[in-house]
A and B are shown apart, each in its own frame.
Chain A
Amino acid sequence: MTGPAILCRGLSVELGGNRILDGVDLEVAAGEWLCVVGPNGAGKSTLLRVIAGLVRGAGALELLGRSAAGLSRRQRAQRIALVPQSPLVPPGVSVADYVLLGRTPHIRSLAVEGPADLAAVHDALAYLDLLDLAARVVTTLSGGERQRVLIARALAQEAPILLLDEPTTALDVGHQQQVLELVDRLRRDHGLTVVSTMHDLILAGQYAERLALLNAGRVVVEGAGADVLTEANLARYYGARVRIVHDAGIPVVLPVRDVPRTTISAEPRGPAGPSWKP
């Protein structure tokens, strides 16, 4: 594939009179994993939503070399799959039925699925090791299994671009790694372009090939993890006090406290516990 998978030029979004995105320029190469980071309210989710076509924005957006404005909803859904941060999972729906929803952009509007769609669902379930859970009801699954089911739905959608909004937020560290490894394998096996938002800067630095730091609706720093995750940037945009240590060349963000811990409980406690004498 030639040219970038996603190209944003001066992308702006206003919601309720507030400028959420303010002239975002961004290029995501085909097959790349870009992670959008930034403080709360920087516009990360809105950036994903405008790329997915859920909110309207001003400026230019090209997807796989075509202007997004010229794409129908359905054509767009064939190019982009979005895994939302907190999806609405209807009660009583089985894993297989839920993953089948991913085939929607490939099924004619009032028709029902054919054998090719079922085969795609089957392959997505197999790839994510979910075949044993196919008949289970999605709402009864654990957080990690559920996230895999969501990714399976996106995989069944067979879109070359995968958008992930905070894919690891509700997961423990083990499942965070499992899900991100899965996304990385998916990206390499299927040549997917991945754009994710992520709060965890350590994981963002470890998995994404490139980071874009968003602040107040603008991309303020962009580049490799080591260039974006610096003490100066995090102090300036997050208001955070951190130390960056490097582990095998990958920056690890370490929050630090100005106040030494010992000053808080300066009085050593006796064996009977704290005493509250005036």
Chain B
Amino acid sequence: MAIEAGVAAPSPARLHVARLSPWWLGAGVLAAVAAALAGLMLGPVGIPPLAVVRELVGLESGLTTAEAAILREIRLPRAILGLLVGATLSVSGAAYQGVFRNPLADPYLLGAAAGAGLGVTITIIGTAASAPTPVSAPIAAFAGALGAVALTYALGAAGGSRLSTGSLILAGVAVTSFLTAVQTYAQQRSQDTIRQVYSWILGRLSTSGWHEVLLLLPYAIVTMVVVIAYRRVLDVLAVGDDEAATLGIDARRSRLVVVVAASLGTAAAVSVSGLIGFVGIIVPHTLRLLAGGSHRVILPLSILFGAAFLALADLLARMLSSPAEIPIGVVTAFFGAPFFVLVLRAARRRGAL
């Protein structure tokens, strides 16, 4: 069938279709770079921005050996880790909100947080009370998070042959409650480890060199690449599974691919940073309100602004009561919760909820 409409109206190129504008892309890059730079400059030892840049690109910076070491071996890995965790959590959150067509979805919707929490708790309890958090904690968190999501999927599928978003979300609620109950029980049984478990659950970006960055990097890249590749498919899924099917999209398979990718990234992020809440909700929602609702806009911008947001939150966590550190989960929730209320109000006014 060919459409023969002989009209001399606006050309196809001027049709208003959702695209990521270069302006927003530039703003996102700028925000991420600025937040990282601030994290590199500020701290107990101040380093001027020009010296930071010169040192990083290998020019003569005039920094002392100690300052250069602080910059390269402490602040740089931590800043990069903040960027990566923020980018991964917020793009995963945006992806979850898309596949579940639910504005309240976050990367922990299917039980990733509770699973990671349980894994870490068991690992910490299993070691001597006085010992530092064991090196196997990240692995336990990663396995716990992925195991919980897999359990949720299995339960959701068992509820019926049609794996609807509703049954998945309910299965996620059940798995989260169950694993949290087990974790609380285990924690109560060995109270001497509560502090350690607690500090992990509140989230922290502490690094020992580049170890955590290297651990997270491959997963973060896979998550970002897969989720971005599905940006147009996620827009199609917004019209519902049935209509997506009449447009040639297999909603269930697409949802599985995106959820697996997002969960992988989330599990990896949780394993190196603990449970950092709200990033996966605040960042995508703010972008949705400001830059438009298409996933082609939200997903790439979530990566950039999520990275910037968490790098900035980490800076605040380090600076606000220096030399002590506030857990970063407290910072994101403290700024996130009130903000979230505003987002909800705005969404209701727009009739989106």
A residues lining the B interface (CB < 8 Å):
49, 52-54, 72-78, 80-82, 84, 87-94, 96-97, 100-102, 104-105, 107, 109-113, 115, 118-127, 131, 134-135, 139, 155, 157-160, 189-192
A196 to B4, CA, bound (A): 24
Contact A126 B246 (CB under 8 A): no
A–B Cβ pairs within 8 angstroms, 19 of them: A77-B247, A84-B243, A84-B246, A90-B101, A97-B18, A97-B294, A104-B248, A104-B249, A110-B229, A110-B232, A111-B232, A112-B232, A113-B232, A121-B15, A123-B3, A134-B15, A134-B16, A159-B1, A160-B1
Q: How far is the CA of A160 from the CA of B351 in the complex (A)?
A: 36
Is A104 a contact partner of B15 (Cβ separation < 8 A)?
Answer: no
Q: Which residues of B contact A77 (CB under 8 A)?
A: 246-248
**Of B3, B11, B350, the contact of A120 (CB 8 Å cutoff):** B3
User: Which one of A78, A104, A121, A125 lies within 8 Å of B236 (CB-CB)?
Assistant: A104
Given contacts A93-B294, A112-B296, 16 further A-B contacts (CB under 8 A): A54-B245, A73-B250, A88-B239, A88-B240, A89-B239, A91-B293, A92-B293, A93-B238, A93-B293, A94-B17, A101-B247, A104-B247, A107-B232, A127-B3, A134-B15, A157-B247
Looking at chain B's contact residues, the main secondary structure is: loop
* Contact flags B293-311 to A (C-beta < 8 A → 1, else 0): 1101000000000000000
Q: Is B9 an interface residue (CB 8 A)?
A: yes
Residues of B in contact with A, size category: 35 or more
B residues apposed to A, CB below 8 Å: 1-5, 7, 9-13, 15-18, 101, 229-230, 232-233, 235-236, 238-240, 242-243, 245-250, 288, 292-294, 296, 350-352
Please measure, in the bound complex, the distance between the C-alpha atom of A96 and the C-alpha atom of B10, giving whole angstroms: 13
Residues of B within 8 A of A159 (CB): 1
A102 touches B247 (CB 8 A): yes
Cα A53 to Cα B240 in complex, Å, equals 15
**Cβ-closest chain B residue relative to A124:** B3
**Are B3 and A135 in contact, CB atoms less than 8 angstroms apart?**
no
| A-B complex: 8 closest residue pairs judged by Cβ atoms | A77-B248, A105-B248, A74-B248, A90-B238, A92-B293, A123-B3, A104-B247, A88-B240
**What's the minimum C-beta distance from B293 to chain A, rounded to whole angstroms?**
4
By a CB distance below 8 angstroms, the chain A residues around B246 are: 52-54, 77, 80-82, 84
- Chain A residues within 8 Å of B230, by CB: 110
Question: From A117, which residue of chain B is reached at the shortest CB distance?
Answer: B12
* CB contact between B12 and one of A53, A97, A118, A190 (< 8 Å): that residue: A118
Residue of A nearest to B19 (CB): A112
Please give, as numbers and ranges, the residues of chain B lying within 8 Å of A72 by CB-CB distance.
248
Assembly CA distance A157 to B3 (angstroms): 11
B16, B242, B352: the one contacting A91 at CB < 8 Å is B352
For A88, the chain B residues whose CB sits under 8 A away are: 238-240, 243
Q: Please give, as numbers and ranges, the residues of chain B lying within 8 Å of A160 by CB-CB distance.
A: 1
Tell me whether A87 and B16 are in contact (CB under 8 A): no
